[in-house]
Amino acid sequence: MPVVVVDVMPKPEILDPQGKAVQGALPRLGFSGVSDVRQGKRFELTVDEVTDEVLAQVAQMAETLLSNPVIENFTVRVETEVEAAVAGAGA
């Protein structure tokens, strides 16, 4: 079944204390070369089929429930099987 992904991130002008905490911890753990970290949310919605109407409904869900449009931006995309396999390989 197709999966529609909604990624929600704080707007660039909004402080991100969780992202800053991760950014501060990375060098202490031996990781370098990361200049900024922003932490967000990911929602996966399994749908029967992907249509323009379904994507419009998901965007409406994201705007009214899954995100706070005052402080967050969101993107809606359809996850392909290849993306899902790569994501699963990292787990």
pLDDT given for residue 91 in this prediction: 56
Which pTM does this prediction carry? Answer: 0.83
Distance CA 21, CA 40 (A): 13
The domain made up of 3-89 has a fold known as Mth169; Chain: A , (3.30.1280)
Domain locations along the chain: 3-89
Give the residues of the chain that fall short of pLDDT 50: none
Summary count for the chain: helices (H), strands (E): 3, 3
pLDDT tens digits for range 41-51: 999 999 999 99
Written as six digits, the tokens of 71 are 């402080």
